[in-house]
Structure 1
């Protein structure tokens, strides 16, 4: 993967215990699994060939632990940003998908099938998530001009950002492939355009 110009290496954190258990994490946290740590090491190996000038990370521990592994042999300024957190899912956090499907069937269907219409008391909407995530990435692009920046974030946060940069409306969010645990993309800004590699 060749990246040039102003680049963001956008990483999803490694697998966690709650990922294995199909629990919704949101702003809550669970530890990286052995697999999750290995995934972070694999990202590190892939990125070793690139110079990285700065790093931004969600404050959630699973993201920070992933970042620590990736940056093991580098000394970089790391900026912790609340805007890079996962979607806030209120009282769903820590519950399994099956539990939320039973307790809130309508909201659950909207979450997976009609994200543009999803509303849950105490939770963020997808539009709110997209607004803060894109705002942060645009800030990072502006601060890291002609540099490579590492960003570690989360599943839905990354997915709604990709929707923005591919001009995909939120109601078609399911058409965007889920970023796997411990995978990364390169967002390259050239002028006003952003290309995804």
Structure 2
């Protein structure tokens, strides 16, 4: 089963360098061409099932594919963004670095070790996202599907396919509207593409 993983389009938090977490913000204007190009690329790959995070930025990025392909958009909680600590949510990274220098440095160098009130551990994000992918694979349908989700989720799913855990989180960077691809069959995960930009 071929599963395309798509990171949502840019948001204000992305542009300003803020921790967004599950803040339900929209995408910023001016990205329609890239989003449409991504949707057309996935339609050309035969995608017939579309899943997304519950957050608005993922839904808004996925809706053009649903419209172009004529397929229903299905929300899956397992593909939700990492839950960040209320102490960091919505704050500039520079502000967090100043207020919590030690923890912020750990987040930059060994994020899997961060323990912060209200912060979802990367291991838990990976576990729920893997469960969500396995649930799709268990349906044993032949046609490819698309999952519109978030940076952390895609990083951790690609790492799982590579046999790596959250300790390797910083080894990847996922761009907005970047398309990655997993081939999942009989419990075996293979990475066939990472971070392609359909509009380029």
The answer, yes or no, to whether TM exceeds 0.5 is yes
Alignment match, 2:165: 169
In the alignment, what sits opposite 1:159?
155
Which ranges in structure 2 are unaligned for 5 or more consecutive residues? 193-200
User: Which residue in 2 is equivalent to 1:145?
Assistant: 141
Task: Tell me the secondary structure at the aligned position of residue 20 of structure 1.
Answer: helix
- Unmatched runs of 5 consecutive residues or more in structure 1: 1-5
SS in 2 for 1:10: strand
CA distance in 2 between counterparts of 1:109 and 1:98 reads 11
Q: Does 1:58 align with 2:53?
A: yes
Kindly state the Cα deviation for residue 151 of structure 1 after the two structures are TM-superposed. 0.5
Distance 2:140 2:96 in 1: 40
CA gap 1:57/1:144 in 2 versus in 1, 3 angstroms: farther
Q: Which residue does the alignment assign to 2:27?
A: 32
Which stretches of structure 1, 4 residues or more, deviate above 3 A after TM superposition? 35-38
Q: Please state whether the residue corresponding to 2:138 is helix, strand or coil.
A: helix
Deviation at 1:173, TM superposition (A): 1.7
d(CA) in 1 for partners of 2:40 and 2:127?
Answer: 32
* Equivalence for 1:3: none
Question: Residues 126-156 of structure 1: CA distance to partner in whole angstroms, max 9, x if unpaired?
Answer: 1111111111111111125322111100001
Distance in structure 2 (CA, Å) of the matches to 1:170 and 1:124:
12
Instruction: Provide the aligned C-alpha RMSD in A.
Output: 1.5
Q: Using the alignment, how far apart are the partners of 1:36 and 1:93 within structure 2?
A: 25
Give matches, 1:19-168, under 5 Å: 19-91=14-86, 92-168=88-164
Number of the residue aligned with 2:4: 9
Secondary structure of residue in 1 paired with 2:67: coil
Q: Are the equivalent residues in 2 in contact too, given 1:15–1:39 (CA < 8 A)?
A: no
- Structure 1 Cα separation of the partners of residues 90 and 2 of structure 2: 34
Q: Distance in 2 between matches of 1:171 and 1:17?
A: 28
Residue aligned with 1:172, SS: helix
54-63 or 164-173, larger mean C-alpha shift = 164-173
Task: Give me the whole-angstrom Cα distance separating, in 1, the residues matched to 2:4 and 2:140.
Answer: 12
CA contact (8 A) 2:126 2:156 kept: yes
- State whether residues 15 and 37 of structure 1, in contact with CA within 8 Å, keep that contact through their aligned partners in structure 2: no
**Which deviations, in whole Å up to 9, do the C-alpha atoms of 1:61-82 show, x marking residues without a partner?**
0000000022222222322111
Is the CA contact 1:163–1:169 (under 8 Å) kept in the aligned structure 2? yes
